[in-house]
Amino acid sequence: MAMNAVNKKVVVFIMGATGSGKSKLSVSLAAHIGGEIINSDKIQVYRGLDVLGNKIPEVERLGVPHHLLGHVGNPDEEYTARHFCFQATSVIERIINSGKVPIVVGGSNSFIEALVEDPDFNFKSNYHGCFIWLDVSPNVLNNFVSKRVDQMVNQGLVEEVRGIFAPDKDYTKGIRRAIGVPEMDKYLRAEASKDMSEAEKKALLESAIAEIKTNTIGLIGRQIGKIRRLRDELGWPIHCIDPTVVFQIEGDKQAQEAAWLKMVFNPSLNILQQYLKSE
């Protein structure tokens, strides 16, 4: 049932390419204003691949409830935008009814577009969408995610993918669509081979890691293109925040945090508070 237009509640969307800092911002905003987070990343909905999928660790969630995160147990299940919309609208209502603010965060813009635009879900009639886009300079972000892939390898990426590896599985479905899984296929097949030298196996692993970096950078380009289309073609009122300077500060955590507060958190909070005032 549609709400009275005067009583429309705010639903916040934190958007941006992979690696742009969406999780940190969403948790900080939620902790500050009394919000709960709804995951809109099509890989993070699955249980598993916490390192590769870059799921926010429990310790960094600041006690903020997270919904639709790791709730799909079957790695082969197809979780579509339609599934997301049905579940997200239900969670949004529960969060609002408990007096909290729903914050939708994730890099799967197809999920977000379906939720907002699909007439079956009546989003525009029922809610005010507050859209915040973390738009990091592509060159800076590409460099950051390349380093992050190396960190993921150190944190157990290979072991994680090995845990779900099955030679007969389809890489176009379920959790195995995740960048990092198909790329590891040749290496994992060769790993058990007695006909291949350790040097050859190492070369395959290095090639797989390089391919993960290339494909992640390709994903960033597509994600940014989709957000621009939502803004420029569909007319979404997307507020752009540029955290590039924060990414360029290296080795000084205190300076980085100060820059993040000044250039990312405070401007985002100001935008959000304007929306909340108009509820």
Average pLDDT (69-96) is 97
Average pLDDT (64-69) is 98
Q: First and final CA of the chain: distance in angstroms?
A: 18
> Is 50 exceeded by the pLDDT of residue 148?
yes
> Is 70 exceeded by the pLDDT of residue 2?
no
Count other Cβ atoms within 10 Å, centred on residue 24.
Answer: 18
> Looking at residue 6, what is its pLDDT?
53
- List pLDDT tens digits, range 9-20: 999 999 999 999
Tell me if 164 sits within 8 A of 181, measured CB to CB: yes
Residues comprising the chain, all counted: 279
Average pLDDT (123-144) is 97
Tell me if 227 sits within 8 A of 22, measured CB to CB: no
Count other Cβ atoms within 10 Å, centred on residue 274.
Answer: 12
Tell me if 49 sits within 8 A of 165, measured CB to CB: no
> Looking at residue 7, what is its pLDDT?
74
Extents of the domains making up the chain: 8-137+235-277, 141-216
> Looking at residue 183, what is its pLDDT?
97
Residue with tokens 């969408």: 129
CA dihedral in degrees (60, 35, 54, 227; nearest 10)?
A: -140
Q: What is the pLDDT confidence band of residue 196, given thresholds at 50, 70 and 90?
A: confident
Tell me if 117 sits within 8 A of 17, measured CB to CB: no
Fold match, 8-137+235-277 / 141-216? no
What's this model's pTM, rounded to 2 decimal places?
A: 0.94
Tell me if 226 sits within 8 A of 114, measured CB to CB: no
Average pLDDT (90-99) is 98
Average pLDDT (119-134) is 97
8-137+235-277: CATH topology is: Rossmann fold (3.40.50)
> Looking at residue 247, what is its pLDDT?
97
Average pLDDT (128-133) is 98
Average pLDDT (90-112) is 97
Chain-centroid distance of CA 63 in Å reads 19
Average pLDDT (216-229) is 97
Count other Cβ atoms within 10 Å, centred on residue 202.
Answer: 11
> Is 60 exceeded by the pLDDT of residue 203?
yes
Q: What is the mean pLDDT of the chain?
A: 95
Average pLDDT (88-111) is 97
In sequence order, the 6+-apart residues with CB closer than 8 A to the CB of 118 are 85
What is the domain class of 141-216 according to CATH? mainly alpha
> Is 70 exceeded by the pLDDT of residue 3?
no
> Looking at residue 59, what is its pLDDT?
93
DSSP per residue, 59-84: GGSTT--EESSS-B--TT----HHHH
Cα–Cα distance list, 82 to 74, 88, 262 (Å)? 17, 10, 37
